[in-house]
Amino acid sequence: MTPVGGWTLGEARPGFDQQPIEVAALADAFASAFDVTGDPRWVRHVERAQAWFLGENDVGTPLFDPATGGGCDGLERNGANRNQGAESTLALVSTFQQARRLRDPHGGDEGG
């Protein structure tokens, strides 16, 4: 994940601060790519974006708070920014919805 401040060639990675809205934008792009191509690799990328919120990220820290249902405001070098603004929570919800939609394209509707 490239941080909001960017990075330059030769600079050590990972970069911080990483923002949930950027992960959600990637998840949306991957989901759109799947919708257009049907290539299952894009589903795996959406699942990786969801996993980022669950702690599979550069510092191994979840950004999803199951107690509140909210999303933390960013990933910093030493962990999550525990603020839970609307933008970050919506980014989390959007990413989770895309992952769910691609896992179950019929929404549990066996009839069609």
pLDDT of residue 10: 75
In angstroms, the CA 67 to CA 65 distance is 5
Residues 6 or more apart whose CB falls under 8 angstroms from that of 26 comprise 45, 49
3-state SS class at 65: strand
pLDDT of residue 112: 43
Instruction: Give the C-alpha distances (Å, rounded to integers) separating 68 from 8, 65, 82, 89, 93.
Output: 37, 6, 12, 10, 12
Domain map (residue ranges) of the chain? 20-103
Per-residue pLDDT of the chain (112 residues; tens, 9 = 90+): 556 666 677 767 657 889 999 999 999 999 999 999 999 999 999 999 999 999 999 999 999 999 999 999 999 999 999 999 999 999 999 999 999 999 986 665 554 4
Structural element, H or E, at residue 81: strand 79-81
pLDDT of residue 16: 81
